[in-house]
Amino acid sequence: MMQIDPAEIIAGYRQGYFLMDNGDGLGWYSSQTRTIMPLDERFRYPKSLRRSLNQNRFTSAINRDFFGVVEGCANRDSTWISDELKMIYLLLYKAGWAFSFETWQDDQLAGGILGLVIGGVFIGESMFFHISEGSKAAMVMLVDHLRSQQFTLFDVQIINPHLERFGAYTISEQEYQQQLQAAIQLRRAFKTGS
């Protein structure tokens, strides 16, 4: 297996690429359009989820079970998170670039979002749930967290109907590059206290 330098991986993300294993081995990808999760009033979520949040069914945590979130994201019939990519996430976690934003119900991991933080951008890599609405609650709580820390960009890479329900939208590669380059210059802390 090749030697992996976390700084080189982050350099790729800084340029707007992302890693995937589509079955032919790990590779860098980009897209003509990029999907963004809004951090303003365009962000929305289902009324049914609002009830769960109001009942305080879930609590949130950062990196309480990073490995559990990586495994949860990879544990599906069709996954682009190979063993090699899991190892890269672990290295990025140890180097302070990768984070898991989690929801918990009592002492059980309910769901979570795996992502990378560079300056004022959160790059969402994947999400999963063990308990119904666990990942949806994580999305709402993560957006609240990013707003509170004054992040300016939440990149979710590729559009799908699930993300569209929260207000995700696509922008051109050129517009993405402008937003990305501005966001990575910012000094933002993702994990507060600890």
| Banded pLDDT at 194 (limits 50, 70, 90) | very low
Residue 35 DSSP SS3: strand
DSSP code for 165: T
> DSSP states of 158-193 as a string?
S--HHHHTTT-EEEEHHHHHHHHHHHTTS---SS--
Beta-strand pair 153-157/121-129: parallel
Give me the domains of the chain, ranges plus CATH numbers.
Answer: 33-183 (3.40.630.70)
Model confidence, pTM? 0.94
Model confidence pLDDT, tens digit, residues 162-177 = 899 999 999 999 999 9
| Banded pLDDT at 1 (limits 50, 70, 90) | very low
Model confidence pLDDT, tens digit, residues 50-63 = 988 989 999 999 99
Separation CA 27–CA 12 (nearest Å): 11
